[in-house]
Every structure is written in C-alpha cells, then in structure tokens.
Amino acid sequence: MGVYVMYHLMDLNLNLIIYKMVKEINNFLSDEECNELINLSSDSFDNAEVLGENIDGYRVAKGTWLEEEDGEVVIKYRKLISEITQIPTINMESINVLKYDIGGEYKDHHDFFHPNENYYDDEIKRGGQRLKTGLVYLNDNFEGGETSFPNLNIKIVPKKGKLVLWDNIKDDGSLDYDSIHTGLPVTNGFKYIAVIWIRENKFY
C-alpha cells in the first residue's frame, strides 16, 4: 500500500501517494491541459517504436513528440516535472504523447538503457541514463490500460490528469530492475498518455 500525504506544488494542492519507488499524483494537469496535449498531437501520430529488437505485438501504440515551441502547456508540464524532481528541464527528452487503441499495450519493459544493446553507447552520449519517468494520463474514458509494476505488486488505475513518476536508477547509480512495468491492454475506447524521460545530464 502507498502512504497517502498532501503535496503542494506552486499554487496546486495535489494528492500524492508514495510507493517504494513510484509516486502517484492526482490533478497534476487540468482537464483543459490534458485536452490541449491531445489536440497538439492528433495530426502527427505514427506507429510507436522501441529501442533494440522490434518484436511484433510488443508495443502496440501510435506516438508523436512535442517540443516546447509547440505550446505553453508543453512548457508548463516540463516545468512542473522539474519542480517536483528538482532536475532541470534541459535534462528532459521531448514529451512523447502516445495513443493506444483497443488492444493497444506495451508489454513488460524497462525505461533505462540496457548495456550491451546496440543503441546503448549512442543513447548514453545524448545525456546519460534515464533516471526517472513521468507519465500523465490525458484521458480516462476507456477501459483497461492500467500501468502495472509486477515486481512491486502495483497496478495504477488511469485517471485524467494523474501523474505517475518513478525511478529507473537506484540511489547508488545501479539499474533498478524492479522498475519493470507494463501498459496493460486497452479493452474499450482510446487511451492517451504523455511521457517524459529524465536523463542524468543535459539531453541532446
């Protein structure tokens, strides 16, 4: 079970649930801000890819990237993540907005970069490891699509505007294999999320 406390961020009172390495924050973005992120992305979705071997059916989604120049809501999301993590926005990758149709899912995976993979050296040069992941649910009028952390026995129910923030790296700098997670299949409707990966250093 999580520890239920209150967190004050700028002028927002947010409900914060803390697990071992996962934070769950309701009302992180407003309904209007979530809608705006969907609207900014709707004309540019393409099939989402994975790093490493592309296995059919492993990640079934469409995605696109948003930069700060795409809108004020992008800037605000990044600044809020920076404030809560105390990591500068220059360490963040662009916002990855993803759309999951019925049957869409992302099977068990880690967000950190696995050593000895062919992409590893290139990605590390771009800003180091992915320390943390921030994920906001942009809608909740669908069924299924929970975010599951099987090693932690955590299953997070989507709620519009909710942020899920977790660590991919332990305090000693080693990879946290318990950060393995799954985007469970959507069984009805469409699921939209906005993800930010936070690097160790400035992201290029």
Using the predicted structure, report yes or no on whether residue 199 has a pLDDT greater than 80.
yes
- pLDDT average, residue stretch 161-169: 98
pLDDT in tens, 34-74: 999 999 999 999 999 888 777 788 899 999 999 999 999 99
Strand segments, DSSP code E, in 58-158 are 59-60, 62-66, 95-100, 105-109, 130-137, 143-144, 147-149, 154-156
Percent of the chain clearing pLDDT 70 (strictly above): 90
8 or 190, higher pLDDT: 190
Q: 199, 129 in Cβ contact below 8 A?
A: yes
Task: Tell me the whole-structure pTM to 2 decimals.
Answer: 0.91
Q: Does residue 58 form part of some domain?
A: yes
- 120 three-class SS: helix
Q: Is pLDDT at 153 greater than 90 in this prediction?
A: yes
> How many residues are listed for the chain in this entry?
204
Give mean pLDDT, residues 69-92. Answer: 97
d(CA 149, CA 167): 12
> Which CATH number characterizes residue 154's domain?
2.60.120.620
How many domains is the chain partitioned into structurally? 1
Residue 2: what pLDDT?
Answer: 42
Is 126 part of any domain?
A: yes
How does the average pLDDT of the chain come out, rounded? Answer: 91
Q: Which domain holds residue 62?
A: 3-199
What mean pLDDT do residues 89-110 have?
Answer: 98
Neighbours of 32 (CB within 10 A): 9
**Which two three-digit tokens encode residue 68?**
């700060």
Looking up tokens 């990237």 gives: 65
What are the C-alpha distances in Å from 120 to residues 125, 127, 128, 163?
Answer: 9, 11, 10, 28
Task: Answer yes or no: is 204 within a domain.
Answer: no
Predicted confidence band at 21 (pLDDT cuts at 50, 70, 90)?
Answer: confident
The predicted structure's pLDDT at residue 15:
64
Task: Tell me how crowded residue 57 is: count the other CB atoms within 10 A of its CB.
Answer: 8
